[in-house]
Structure 1
């Protein structure tokens, strides 16, 4: 596979279970070495970038449970400034301003003093995305950001991610099983099919019949007109 992401774009990695979506995302952020090939950020090869500088370029939101949910929302958000603070972790006026902007964008003011364990899944996910925003990177990577959320909150998160990409000119890439929502909201999509792994705008992927063979045809078919999957009864 070969693909390029630009600033201000929302992109999704989709595919069946076990195809390698999370593996690819972890490779892109340097959490595990490449199986082959290379990853470049602004022309620099990923494995040559110093960790602190890399933390100023990429922020990551994973599906793993937090190490401690006893932190307040305010404390968790402040950790996002770690790549920029001194060894004491003191927050400057700029740090506080960046945190305030992220809180405003994600509408988290009512939750600042709450402990993370007091939040619903949807609220906590918004906090984790806000922490990534506080890190102030040009690239945000998210692994299954809508897991365990109902349809309304899935749509809410996806629309927030699109707004973040377009309004702040950041590159936002996420893995997801929510293919139909991604088709409606993403600028680009990468379909991991184990063969050609096409990467394009959703409308072009539909025109090229790229979704037609994603699932067994005797069970699920893709309707190009509505951009949705149909179950064969």
Structure 2
């Protein structure tokens, strides 16, 4: 597949698949097309060429409502209204399933409550979204995606603006959700070393081979060693970390 804007290709020769129960990351340097790819998979913009399939069906065959029951997305754009309470924002996750009045059923409420418990949001429910820290709001947005109850969850830079502890917390949470709820979770990230430790699969978007595999196999194949200019940054396969050349 090739992705881009206005027929201008940003990234091409992309080919990979993700299964239910897997956490996968898209990594690469700035401007290589990570966000463009995640937005294309989420049907926020058209692909340039190639195909995207969900359960063997072309992405284009799904209408808006069908997409909302198949794929949930957390993008980097600010939410429409931070004046909503956390409880109100979470309830919007059930919108694809409610009737035209938007009335929540007992099943809807149960799904919301389960996600609130999983992401430990009980103490935030009555707070306005603008009152939350970046880390708290990110957990709320992930909960909303989980409440949408789709097989696929896409996230663009879910750890942006977070400190190391909260970066690790969010990624460990995503891994737990993928494994425990059997969802396919795909996210973009600059946190390559954390992704190596926590992800089941990784796509290295480098504009050339765009390899996709388990982190250990990517290390064995020296796929990380050409990600950055070798005269400045080297990759240590023994520790799975990058070293600055002084």
> Which TM-score band (shorter chain)?
over 0.9
- Segments of 5+ residues of structure 1 without an aligned counterpart are none
* CA-CA distance at 1:63 after TM superposition: 0.7
What is residue 225 of structure 1 aligned with on the other side?
A: 238
1:53-132 to 2 correspondence within 5 Å? 53-132=66-145
Distance 1:184 1:95 in 2: 35
* CA-CA distance at 1:87 after TM superposition: 1.2
Distance 1:202 1:97 in 2: 36
Q: 2:219 aligns with which of 193, 206, 210?
A: 206
Q: Root-mean-square deviation (CA), in Å?
A: 0.5
> What's the secondary structure of 1:130's corresponding residue?
helix
Cα distance per residue 1:35-83 (max 9 Å; x no partner)? 1101000011001112111100000001111111010000000000000
- Segments of 5+ residues of structure 2 without an aligned counterpart are 1-13
What is residue 196 of structure 2 aligned with on the other side?
A: 183
| Segments ≥4 residues shifted beyond 6 Å | none
Q: 1:25 aligns with which of 14, 38, 42?
A: 38
What is residue 5 of structure 1 aligned with on the other side?
A: 18
Distance 2:70 2:233 in 1: 39
TM-score (norm 2): 0.94
Q: How many residues align?
A: 233
Cα distance per residue 1:22-43 (max 9 Å; x no partner)? 0000110100001110100001
* CA-CA distance at 1:2 after TM superposition: 1.0
Distance 2:123 2:162 in 1: 20
Distance 1:35 1:206 in 2: 31
Distance 1:191 1:213 in 2: 10
What is residue 164 of structure 1 aligned with on the other side?
A: 177
Distance 2:33 2:49 in 1: 14
